Amino acid sequence: MIEKAQNLGKLISIHTIAPAFLQRAVIIAVLSFVFFLAMLAVFSIRQNFIYFFLSTAFLIVYLFTMFGWLMMRKNILKIYENGITYRKFTARWNEIESIESDNKNGKINCEIRKAKGEKITLTDSIYEVEKAVKLIKTKVNLKSLKATDNIA
């Protein structure tokens, strides 16, 4: 993917995880870890296995939260002069067939399809996704206009 990204030209913008999603993950991770430690302390004092099971449950919540957070950190949308990359998806502007945006109940979903059938969905979990979608639509429309001018 690094070689493909190098062929896309100069990096214009990077869109990472939205701070609200990051903040939620941090709050859940901190609280579950604090409760894990508290239940472990209570278990060591009272010697009742129910507290051990509670501490184990909080540890599992903590581990799943941290795993999800690490996976979300890979969700970086990069916009270049000549295309975009998102996870394992790489496309030049002329390869993008369609861009469909939905805004239901204040939540944005944007589906980008390549001519080959590959597609990605951009959601609110990406910081400034509205701005990114507008930029992508502008770039795709400019490339399609240039292509039609070259044909004519």
Among 72, 94, 109, identify where a domain stops: 72
- pLDDT tens digit sequence for 95-148: 888 888 888 887 888 899 988 888 898 988 899 888 988 998 888 888 766 666
| Mode of pairing for the β-strands spanning 11-15 and 77-80 | antiparallel
CA distance 105 to 122: 16
Same-domain pairing of 128 and 114: yes
DSSP helix/strand/coil, 104: strand
- The CATH number that applies at residue 118 is 2.30.29.30
Same-domain pairing of 43 and 94: no
Total tally of structural domains belonging to the chain = 2
Same-domain pairing of 8 and 58: no
Give how far Cα 59 sits from Cα of 27, 52, 71, 131, Å.
14, 10, 18, 38
By residue count, the chain amounts to 152
Q: What is the pTM of this model?
A: 0.76
Same-domain pairing of 140 and 96: yes
- pLDDT tens digit sequence for 27-82: 999 999 999 999 999 999 999 999 999 999 999 999 999 999 888 888 899 999 88
